[in-house]
């Protein structure tokens, strides 16, 4: 709390479960937020307005017009300029004021930079839009003993799972392996509404303040929230002694991520994206792309599609050429949205 704003957090401190001591814990806390879009926007505002000491923001994407109905940190001007989300977020968050220190990185979070981004952090918040990054975060947090909070939303509903390494389940205890790419609905295929985003992110934020305040969490649970139908379910989740991650301490997603590679092909206005792990189901990917692509063609073992102003060529091992851009972050975003998300 800054000396000239002694009443800024008065109402929070009056909340008995937090109190003055809890507020002091928040002021000393450091949080990494991966993703500043839909969930990330609500989470970032919540952390700044609550007075968390330092907030590290990481996002590789740019603001687009279609973001505005659900991504609360951005406006028309950000979209028109194609501004990097993380810097547009910083601009908006600074207007809130308060003591929170902001550190912003316009990067794709992967196995080569996650440890550096998370250095000194007390908590990691999931504002991402793809499963690969979530399993990577889970591996890293279990290794390092850092709490993190999973959140996912599609359509009108979503899930939240707080993960306290050594004291309850990790992500892989509940969802052992990610499903093949292209088999789950995403915001791009099934849509999403702002109330669902706000509901899921607010639950994540509440749990984040609880953890940062130093108060013990109740029994771990997977929380299902449905904003469209007005439903909430709390499913008790327990650590699985046979979990390959927190049980056997095999961190395959972390190890695989060290081999991720994005390569801009010189002189071709093309970016090659490669991700380790299970190859995508090309039939499922093709079915998703047919909803938005101008053209989808199976050329022998390859899948080709025209999406936006880009041409995607997907190989059987998941390696993808994205023609029409030399921007690695845009290419990674397209890849995660349609191929590896």
CB atoms inside a 10 Å sphere around CB 331: 27
How far is C-alpha 188 from the chain's CA centre? 15
| CA atoms 40, 117, 63, 182: torsion sign | negative
Q: Residue 33 pairs with which residues in a beta bridge?
A: 57, 125
| Nearest CA among 163, 132, 135 for reference residue 149 | 163
- As a whole number of angstroms, the distance between CA 159 and CA 199 comes to 10
232 is catalytic: no
How far is C-alpha 148 from the chain's CA centre? 11
In 178-326, where do the E strands start and end?
221-226, 231-236, 261-265, 270-274, 295-299, 302-307, 310-314, 320-323
DSSP for 123-176, written as a single string: EEEE--S-HHHHHHHHHHHHHHT--EEEEEEEBTEEEEEEE-TTSS--HHHHS-
CB atoms inside a 10 Å sphere around CB 256: 17
SS3 290: coil
CB atoms inside a 10 Å sphere around CB 179: 12
How far CA 197 is from CA of 28, 138, 225, in Å, comes to 28, 22, 10
Given the residues 141, 187, 243, 246, select the one marked as catalytic: 187
Residues tagged active-site: 187
């Amino acid at each position: 709390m800054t000396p000239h704003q002694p009443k800024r957090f008065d109402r929070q401190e009056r909340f008995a479960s937090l109190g003055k001591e809890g507020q002091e814990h928040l002021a000393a806390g450091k949080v990494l937020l991966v993703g500043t879009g839909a969930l990330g926007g609500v989470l970032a505002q919540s952390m700044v307005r609550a007075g968390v000491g330092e907030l590290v923001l990481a996002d590789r994407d740019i603001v687009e017009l279609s973001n505005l109905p659900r991504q609360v940190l951005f406006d028309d001007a950000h979209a028109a300029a194609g501004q990097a989300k993380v810097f547009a977020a910083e601009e908006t968050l600074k207007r809130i004021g308060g003591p929170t220190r902001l550190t912003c990185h316009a990067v794709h979070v992967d196995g080569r930079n996650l440890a550096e981004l998370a250095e000194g952090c007390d908590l990691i918040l999931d504002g991402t839009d793809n499963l690969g990054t979530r399993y990577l975060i889970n591996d890293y947090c279990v290794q390092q003993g850092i709490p993190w909070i999973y959140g996912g939303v599609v359509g009108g509903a979503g899930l939240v799972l707080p993960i306290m390494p050594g004291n309850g389940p990790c992500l892989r205890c509940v969802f052992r392996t990610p499903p093949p790419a292209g088999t789950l609905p995403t915001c791009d295929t099934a849509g999403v509404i702002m109330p669902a985003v706000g509901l899921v992110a607010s639950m994540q934020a509440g749990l984040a303040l609880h953890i940062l305040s130093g108060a013990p969490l109740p029994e771990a649970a997977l929380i299902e929230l449905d904003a469209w139908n007005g439903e909430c379910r709390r499913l008790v989740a327990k650590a699985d002694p046979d979990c390959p991650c927190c049980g056997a301490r095999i961190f395959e997603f972390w190890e695989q991520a060290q081999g991720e590679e994005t390569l801009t092909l010189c002189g071709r206005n093309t970016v090659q994206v490669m991700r380790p792990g299970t190859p995508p189901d090309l039939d499922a990917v093709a079915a998703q792309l047919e909803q938005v692509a101008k053209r989808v063609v199976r050329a022998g073992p390859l899948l080709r599609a025209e999406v936006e102003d880009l041409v995607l060529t997907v190989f059987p091992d998941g390696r993808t050429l994205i023609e029409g851009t030399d921007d690695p972050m845009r290419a990674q975003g397209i890849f995660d949205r349609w191929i590896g998300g």
